[in-house]
């Protein structure tokens, strides 16, 4: 099964300003102008070998993926907010989702350049915009989520 379900049909109202399309469990959820990839860290354990004073062995213990952040977005519906509210209510058993972020070329053919698929993800931070009567504010300022692994296509 491809990571991005029917991507061509999801671009019916895609603006080239918003280069990052977000699909949550196969539902087109929104488009964003910024996408911050997670910082990947490998924890190590120091092993001091007897008689070896020149260096300390550093053995890998576990990897720790950071969070993913999307900024300045417009939403196609209320799915992202409903997902965040599910986590806020503590309903974690059903809160993990597959999140796909597709980066598009700004040309008119709107072909994806890269696609990231995040597994068992859930949101941990939501920031709304400052709404003003005389300004066209975006529907969401920031959403940040954690994940349990990802792939890049």
* Residue 141: per-residue pLDDT: 87
Domain boundaries, the chain: 8-41+57-152
* Residue 8: per-residue pLDDT: 43
* Residue 19: per-residue pLDDT: 85
* Residue 81: per-residue pLDDT: 87
* Residue 137: per-residue pLDDT: 56
* Residue 107: per-residue pLDDT: 67
CB 121 within 8 A of CB 97: yes
CATH 2.60.40 for domain 8-41+57-152: no
Q: What CA–CA distance (Å, rounded) separates 88 from 151?
A: 27
* Residue 139: per-residue pLDDT: 73
* Residue 29: per-residue pLDDT: 87
Instruction: Choose among 59, 80, 94, 91: nearest CA to 125.
Output: 80
Q: What CA–CA distance (Å, rounded) separates 6 from 79?
A: 18
pLDDT along the chain (153 residues), means of 10: 45 61 90 92 93 92 92 85 92 93 78 91 89 67 93 92
* Residue 140: per-residue pLDDT: 81
């Amino acid at each position: 099964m491809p990571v991005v379900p029917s991507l061509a049909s999801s671009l019916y109202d895609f603006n080239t300003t918003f280069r990052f399309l977000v699909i949550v469990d196969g539902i087109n959820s929104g488009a964003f102008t910024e996408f911050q990839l997670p910082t990947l860290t490998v924890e190590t354990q120091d092993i001091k070998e007897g008689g070896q004073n020149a260096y300390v062995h550093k053995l890998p213990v576990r990897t720790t993926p950071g969070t993913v952040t999307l900024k300045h977005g417009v939403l196609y519906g209320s799915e992202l907010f409903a997902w965040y509210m599910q986590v806020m209510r503590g309903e974690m058993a059903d809160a993990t989702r597959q999140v796909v972020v597709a980066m598009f070329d700004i040309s008119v053919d709107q072909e994806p350049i890269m696609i990231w698929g995040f597994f068992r993800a859930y949101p941990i931070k939501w920031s709304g915009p400052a709404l003003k009567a005389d300004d066209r504010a975006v529907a969401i300022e920031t959403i940040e989520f954690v994940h349990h692994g990802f792939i890049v296509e």
